[in-house]
Amino acid sequence: MRTLLILTILLFSNICFAGLDDVSSSICRIQSNTHIKGTGVIFKKDGKNIYVLTAGHVVEDEGTYYVQFFGQTYPSRPMAVEVLNKIYQENTIDDLAVLKLDLKNWDEKYLVPPTIEIKENPGIKTVYTYGCPQGGWPTGYKGYLVDAPLNDIGATYFYPTPHKGRSGSGLFFEQNRRTYLQGTVILTNGAAVPTWKIREKLKEWKINE
């Protein structure tokens, strides 16, 4: 059953949910030369590059994009990324992008964050989201999954609806003291791209998780 996430709003400048410590350092703010665009999360590293998952509309426009991390006591410097793949069809779940950050461009004063594994949520009701509302420092929310609305587009949904700037934020759950990514926020009505769609696009783009 597709689901709707009801969020109990718990704002934190640094996330403090038990077992979710890695999430805060793996979240980044995405910006262009002129605007704050949204949020992303590290889902893959290969020794030479870091790969960030976000919403396609976050990097819809042509131009240079940067990511900035906040998992330590001070923010990293903005680091240029390549838009490796993207798809964006308005008001659908075809709204994903993968950004590639060459580790040669990494802020040498900043620790490289861990990856968050993509995984289906098999019946777990408690979930979390973490992102950069309106371009600010990241904040976290705790919520619970319920039924989808009648105008479902095939997404996972959550409520209350997110602030602007949270596009690309992850939906996370904890299992056996590990944190997993199960969706990516795309719309201010609370829609998120579900796990199966993320995996479908990564396979199409030939990107291993």
Domain positions in the chain are: 3-21+116-204, 26-105
Query: CA Rg, the chain, in Å?
Result: 15
Dist CA 60 CA 37 (whole Å): 10
| Residue 164 φ then ψ, to 5° | -60, 145
Q: Which residue has the higher pLDDT, 149 or 45?
A: 45
Q: For the chain, give the mean pLDDT.
A: 83
> Who wins on pLDDT, 138 or 77?
77
State which amino acid sits at residue 16: C
Whole-angstrom distance, CA of residue 145 vs CA of residue 135: 26
pLDDT value for 190: 76
Burial of residue 119, with CB atoms counted within 10 A of its CB: 0-12 exposed, 13-18 middle, 19 or more buried? middle
CATH number of the 26-105 domain: 2.40.10.10
Q: What is the pLDDT of residue 7?
A: 38
* Predicted pLDDT of residue 4: 41
DSSP structural state of residue 43 = E
At residue 12, does pLDDT exceed 70?
Answer: no
CATH number of 3-21+116-204: 2.40.10
Whole-number pLDDT of residue 188: 73
| Cis amide bond preceding 75, omega within 30 | no
Confidence label for 20 from pLDDT (cuts 50, 70 and 90): low
Please tell me if the domain spanning 3-21+116-204 has the same topology as the one spanning 26-105. yes
Per-residue pLDDT, 8: 34
65-79, 92-106, 134-148: range with lowest mean pLDDT: 134-148
Q: Which has more confidence, 59 or 129? A: 59
Query: Among 53, 45, 78, which residue's Cα sits nearest to residue 64?
Result: 78
Indicate whether 67 pLDDT > 70: yes
What's the confidence (pLDDT) of residue 147? 66
Q: What is the pLDDT of residues 151-195, one digit of tens each?
A: 788 888 777 677 776 899 998 988 888 889 989 888 877 788 999
